C-alpha cells in the first residue's frame, strides 16, 4: 500500500496521461450554465463551454465541488493508501480549498487510521498541475506525508505560469485579474501577458503586445529569460485554440531543453474566468 495518495481539483488543467500515470484523483469543479451544473471536463467539453463564452451572453459561472465530492474522494482513495494529501487551487481565487477543509474534518471522523491534509498551493492552472505531479512522483518514490508536503512547498517556489490573454473582458468581469485590472478599460486589440505569482496566490500583469504574434514572441522571450540553458518541464495550455497550442508546443520543444512537454486544454473551471483564446505555459527547471 502506498504511503500517500494525491487529490487535486480540476483547475489543475492536467493532461489525462499524467493523471492516469501517477494515479492522481481529480475532483471536478462545476460549470454553471442556465442554472444547471456540469462537472468540469466530464459532463461538458471545454469546446462546448468556450463556444458559449464567445457569444458574451448568458456567460457560464463556476461553483466549487461539494463537500461530499471531496469526502467521497478521500474515502475511495483511503482503500489503497495510508494517508492523503489534497492540493488545491489558490484560496485567493476560489473557495475550493475551504470546501476541501470541511470534507477533511468529516473524513477524519470516519477514516480514523488515516492522516489527511489539505494544502493551499497558491497556484492555478497547470502551475498547480506541476505541483500535484511532483507530489505524486514523490509518493511513488515512497515519501511519507510530511516529505511529500515538503516537495509541494519547494515546487511552489519553482513553478511558473505565463499566459497570453485574448480578451481581458472575462478576467475583469470576474475580478480574477488582480493588478492587471488597470489595463481592462484601456486595452483595444492589445494582447496582455499575465503570470500567476505563487508567492501571493494572485494573477499579475507581466507585459503586453499589440498583436497576438508579438505576444507569442514575447512569451517565448520571457521563458528564455527564466529557463536559460536549464532542463525544463513544460505544460502548454490553450483555450479553444488547438492549432496555436500545437505550434507553441513545437516552438518551445525546439528552443528549449525539455525533459518533458505536454499540451492540454485550459479547463473550463479556469477558462470561465479567463475566457477563450488563452495560450500559456506552466514550467519549472531542474536547476
What pLDDT is attached to residue 56?
80
Average pLDDT, the chain: 92
pTM for this predicted structure: 0.94
The answer to whether the beta carbons of residues 284 and 233 sit under 8 Å apart is: yes
Beta strands in 151-238 (DSSP E): 160-164, 191-197, 202-209, 231-238
What pLDDT is attached to residue 273?
86
Residue 136 clears pLDDT 50, i.e. is over it:
yes
User: pLDDT tens digits for 80-135?
Assistant: 999 999 999 999 999 999 999 999 999 999 999 999 999 999 999 999 999 999 99
What pLDDT is attached to residue 185?
44
Complete edge-to-edge strand list for the sheet that includes strand 2-9: 25-27, 2-9, 81-88, 115-120
Q: How far apart are CA 110 and CA 130, in angstroms?
A: 30
Q: What is the residue extent of each domain of the chain?
A: 2-29+64-157, 160-285
User: pLDDT tens digits for 239-250?
Assistant: 999 999 999 999
The answer to whether the beta carbons of residues 28 and 96 sit under 8 Å apart is: no
CATH class in words for 2-29+64-157: alpha beta
User: pLDDT tens digits for 253-275?
Assistant: 999 999 999 999 999 998 898 88
Residue 176 clears pLDDT 70, i.e. is over it:
no
State the pairing for strand pair 257-265/231-238: parallel
User: pLDDT tens digits for 26-74?
Assistant: 999 999 999 999 999 999 999 999 999 988 888 899 999 999 999 999 9
- Name the DSSP class of 181: H
CATH class in words for 160-285: alpha beta
What pLDDT is attached to residue 58?
85
Residue 215 clears pLDDT 90, i.e. is over it:
yes
Amino acid at each position: 500500500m502506498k504511503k500517500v495518495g494525491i487529490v487535486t481539483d480540476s483547475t489543475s488543467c492536467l493532461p489525462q496521461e499524467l493523471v492516469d500515470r501517477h494515479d492522481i484523483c481529480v475532483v471536478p469543479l462545476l460549470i454553471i450554465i442556465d442554472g444547471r451544473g456540469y462537472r468540469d471536463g466530464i459532463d461538458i467539453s471545454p469546446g462546448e463551454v468556450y463556444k458559449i463564452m464567445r457569444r458574451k451572453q448568458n456567460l457560464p459561472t463556476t461553483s466549487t465541488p461539494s463537500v461530499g465530492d471531496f469526502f467521497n474522494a478521500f474515502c475511495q482513495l483511503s482503500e489503497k493508501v495510508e494517508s492523503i494529501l489534497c492540493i488545491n487551487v489558490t484560496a485567493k481565487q476560489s473557495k475550493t480549498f475551504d470546501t476541501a477543509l470541511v470534507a477533511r474534518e468529516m473524513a477524519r471522523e470516519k477514516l480514523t487510521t488515516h492522516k489527511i491534509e489539505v494544502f493551499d498551493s497558491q497556484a492555478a492552472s497547470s502551475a498547480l498541475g506541476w505541483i500535484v505531479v511532483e507530489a505524486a512522483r514523490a509518493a511513488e518514490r515512497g515519501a511519507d506525508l510530511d516529505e511529500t508536503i515538503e516537495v509541494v512547498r519547494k515546487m511552489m517556489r519553482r513553478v511558473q505560469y505565463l499566459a497570453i490573454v485574448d480578451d481581458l473582458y472575462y478576467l475583469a468581469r470576474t475580478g480574477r485579474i488582480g493588478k492587471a485590472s488597470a489595463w481592462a478599460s484601456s486595452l483595444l486589440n492589445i494582447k496582455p501577458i499575465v503570470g500567476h505569482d505563487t508567492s501571493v496566490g494572485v494573477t499579475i500583469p507581466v507585459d503586453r503586445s499589440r498583436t497576438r504574434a508579438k505576444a507569442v514572441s514575447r512569451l517565448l522571450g520571457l521563458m528564455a529569460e527564466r529557463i536559460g540553458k536549464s532542463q525544463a518541464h513544460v505544460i502548454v495550455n490553450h483555450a479553444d485554440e488547438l492549432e496555436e497550442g500545437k505550434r507553441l508546443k513545437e516552438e518551445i520543444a525546439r528552443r528549449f531543453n525539455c525533459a518533458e512537454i505536454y499540451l492540454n486544454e485550459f479547463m473550463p473551471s479556469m477558462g470561465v474566468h479567463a475566457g477563450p483564446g488563452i495560450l500559456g505555459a506552466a514550467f519549472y527547471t531542474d536547476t
